[in-house]
Amino acid sequence: MAEAEPQEENSMKKMENCKKDLEKLLEEMEKITVRAAWMTYNIVTIHTDPDLAHSMKHLEDAFLRCKEQMERKWQEVLKE
């Protein structure tokens, strides 16, 4: 039984670390979502701006990076 306790503690630490990582990723996703909301709100004003395509590409790239990181973290959790 003494062996189960350190393993449980290790598992709990991993879960806590995972929780912290997921919270950080969620915070990043929230920031990206806010940016997307503002971009959508301002689209009428900036639709004639040639930088719109660049802004949308930047937003898409940020989303894809975040999505990729979330998928990697999820796979790490599943492997543990």
- For 47-61, write each residue's pLDDT tens digit: 666 677 788 888 889
> Among the residues of 1-80, which ranges form H helices?
4-46, 52-79
* More confident site: 24 or 79: 24
pLDDT digits (tens, 9 = 90+) for 14-34: 889 999 999 999 999 999 999
Q: What is the mean pLDDT of the chain?
A: 83
CA 46 from centre of chain: 27
pTM beyond 0.85, yes or no:
no
**What are the sequence ranges of the domains in the chain?**
7-48, 50-79
